[in-house]
A = this chain, B = another copy of it.
């Protein structure tokens, strides 16, 4: 299942993830990836069970699989449901807007878990997700990364479509990588847009789509289009919140006049790799998986 990924040698999975039972639980936010993970689990001869976070999980995606909808903060319900289904292995996948306290209404277990998460509730996303993965581990679950199941959707290193970044675009990619590394260290975000050396927009809480719109508004006419760069935060746990690119991302990037997208190879999920490449080729955008490390070849 999980074949070798050219991800700069950091996590070459030799085969299927090490699992302890026959059921794998999926804690599902939005988007199509929870369904893809379920399909991959089934292909391994295992049983997927999806806990869909209410208001986030897409019924069309998780409907075809054994599932239950539970509020994000109802941690007691979530844990007992997963235990009742015999799922000791878990995958967290799909975006979830950061909850607000007033929305949360945690159940009793949820309140205890929130107390254990403590200050991380107030830190950036990465701190929060890392704390959730840690708590799930303390509760006896093994948390796996979605990329372990979706090897075919992990963006590999190199140029994926027909367009190639030229020297100017490479220079923008390098600057963008340095910017995303800096903002990632501060647990701010995973992306930015650079045009001809100029940082047009930096992603924080608003997400990639809104950043792209803004970058389009700030675009400098009369120069080559900008480049979207998406990277893991340095030291980020890969079992939650991998940078994700879908055909929509490519369409939006093209619509605001960008000339390409660079993503961290081996650490980015393409929700539909073929459709991403087709969209990029149709729009003349490049799509390139890059190394996270400064000293190495860029792609």
Which A residues lie at the B interface, using CB under 8 A?
Answer: 98, 100-103, 119, 122-124, 178-179, 182-183, 185-189, 192, 196-206, 210, 214, 217-218, 220-223
Contacts and interface: CB of A to CB of B under 8 A. Distances in A.
Contacts of A182: 182-183, 185-186
Given A182-B182, A183-B182, A188-B179, A218 B206 contact: yes
A95 to B, nearest CB: 14
Given A179-B188, A182-B183, A188-B199, A102 B222 contact: yes
Contacts of A103: 221-222
Q: Which 5 A-B pairs have the closest CB atoms?
A: A102-B222, A205-B218, A101-B222, A122-B197, A202-B202
Q: How many copies does the complex hold?
A: 2
Nearest to A218: B205
A206 B204 CA distance: 14
Contacts of A119: 197
Given A122-B198, A188-B199, A221-B100, A210 B205 contact: no
A48 to B, nearest CB: 32
A98 B206 contact: no
A205 B205 CA distance: 17
A186 B197 contact: no
Nearest to A98: B220
A198 B120 CA distance: 10
Given A198-B205, A200-B204, 5 more contacts: A101-B221, A102-B221, A119-B197, A124-B197, A179-B186
14 contacts: A100-B221, A103-B221, A179-B188, A183-B202, A187-B199, A188-B202, A189-B199, A189-B202, A192-B204, A198-B205, A199-B204, A200-B204, A200-B205, A202-B203
Given A183-B202, A205-B200, A223 B101 contact: yes
